[in-house]
Amino acid sequence: MDRIVCTHQTNAGVTAVRTPVADGVRDILKDCEQQGLVDELRQALGMEPRPDATAVRAVRDLVYELAGAKNRDLAVDVLIYATGVAEFEATSLRGYAARHGLTAEGFRQQVLAMQRRLGLPPRPMQQSDAN
């Protein structure tokens, strides 16, 4: 049976010794990458990444929050503002409120309520935005 790649430590660094098995594995990995099958290869080898329980819970909570909303467009905008993603847009709290026919204070209250429900950290909202 062929040998697998061995390494040799020297003062100059680590040197890899190539063998036919190592070259074959390298070829298989290269083929999987080219064909977009790396995830399937990892799954077949039992190397699937374990999902982070906190991340899974957060996604589940978001899905329930948005799915249960009567006005999903409003819920998405509230979520965008509550998480701080809105900082990358030109839309202010007042702009979001106007889009949904709410007062700025009414929209702000929805943002605060969503932050509490989802356990999001409070983020600063300019008072001038809400007035």
Q: Tell me the pLDDT tens digit for each residue of 93-127.
A: 899 999 999 999 999 999 999 999 888 888 877 55
Q: What is the pLDDT of residue 129?
A: 45
* Same domain as 116, residue 73: yes
Domain count, the chain: 2
The vertex-109 CA angle with 108 and 113, nearest 5°, equals: 120
Tokens encoding 76: 């998405």
Domain encompassing residue 10: 6-44
Report if residue 80 sits inside a domain.
yes
- Backbone torsions φ then ψ of 120, nearest 5 degrees: -80, 145
pTM above 0.85, yes or no: no
Q: What is the pLDDT of residue 4?
A: 45
pLDDT at 1: 44
In a domain, 119, yes or no: yes
Amino acid 113: pLDDT: 92
Residue 27 to residue 45: CA distance in whole angstroms: 16
| Whole-number Å distance between alpha carbons of 113 and 80 | 13
pLDDT lower than 70: segments of the chain = 1-22, 48-50, 90, 126-131
List the structure tokens of 104.
């700025």
Is 40 in the same domain as 60? Answer: no
Same domain? For 10 and 30 the reply is: yes
What are the residues facing 9 on neighbouring strands? Answer: 14
The answer to whether position 37 is within a domain reads yes
Give residue 108's pLDDT.
Answer: 93
